[in-house]
Amino acid sequence: DSGVTQTPKHLITATGQRVTLRCSPRSGDLSVYWYQQSLDQGLQFLIQYYNGEERAKGNILERFSAQQFPDLHSELNLSSLELGDSALYFCASRRASGADTQYFGPGTRLTVL
Amino acid sequence: DQQVKQNSPSLSVQEGRISILNCDYTNSMFDYFLWYKKYPAEGPTFLISISSIKDKNEDGRFTVFLNKSAKHLSLHIVPSQPGDSAVYFCAASGTGANNLFFGTGTRLTVIP
A14-62 tens-digit pLDDT: 999 999 999 999 998 999 999 999 876 788 999 999 999 999 898 899 9
Q: Pick the more confident residue, A99 or B42.
A: B42
Note the pLDDT tens digit of each residue in B25-47. 999 999 999 999 999 888 999 99
**Cα–Cα distance measured from residue A102 to residue B30, given in angstroms and rounded to the nearest whole number:** 16
Q: Tell me the chain A residues in contact with residue B101 when contact means C-beta distances shorter than 8 Å.
A: 45
For residue A25, whether the previous peptide bond is cis, meaning omega lies within 30 degrees of 0, is: no
pLDDT band for A97, please (50, 70, 90 cuts): low
Q: Pick the more confident residue, A12 or B1.
A: A12
A109: closest chain B residue by CA: B41
Neighbours of B81 (CB within 10 A): 13
Cα torsion A8, A9, A13, A17 to 10°: value is 40
pLDDT band for A2, please (50, 70, 90 cuts): confident
Shortest Cα–Cα distance, B86 to chain A (Å): 14
E strand segments, chain B: 4-5, 10-14, 19-25, 30-38, 45-51, 56-59, 62-67, 72-77, 86-94, 101-102, 106-111
Note the pLDDT tens digit of each residue in A56-74. 898 899 999 999 999 999 9
Subunit contact A2:B104, Cβ cutoff 8 A: no
Q: Tell me the chain A residues in contact with residue B95 when contact means C-beta distances shorter than 8 Å.
A: none
Calculate mean pLDDT across residues A74-102: 89
DSSP 8-state class, residue A44:
E
Q: Tell me the chain B residues in contact with residue A44 when contact means C-beta distances shorter than 8 Å.
A: 102
Q: Are strands A87-94 and A103-104 parallel, antiparallel or unpaired?
A: antiparallel
Burial of B79 (0-12, 13-18, 19+ CB in 10 A): middle
Which residues share a beta bridge with B59? B62
- Residue A110: pLDDT over 70: yes
Calculate mean pLDDT across residues B79-105: 90
Shortest Cα–Cα distance, B107 to chain A (Å): 11
Residue A8: C-alpha distances to residues A22, A57, A105, B47 (Å): 7, 23, 11, 26
pLDDT band for B99, please (50, 70, 90 cuts): confident
Task: List all residues 6 or more positions away from B16 whose beta carbon is below 8 Å from its beta carbon.
Answer: B79, B80
Q: Pick the more confident residue, B100 or A113.
A: A113
- Residue A99: pLDDT over 60: no
Q: Pick the more confident residue, A101 or B9.
A: B9
Answer yes or no: are the C-beta atoms of A110 and A15 closer than 8 Å. Answer: no
Answer yes or no: are the C-beta atoms of A93 and A74 closer than 8 Å. Answer: no
Subunit contact A97:B89, Cβ cutoff 8 A: no
- Residue B111: pLDDT over 80: yes
- Interface list for B 21-60 with A (CB within 8 A): 32, 34, 36, 41-46, 49
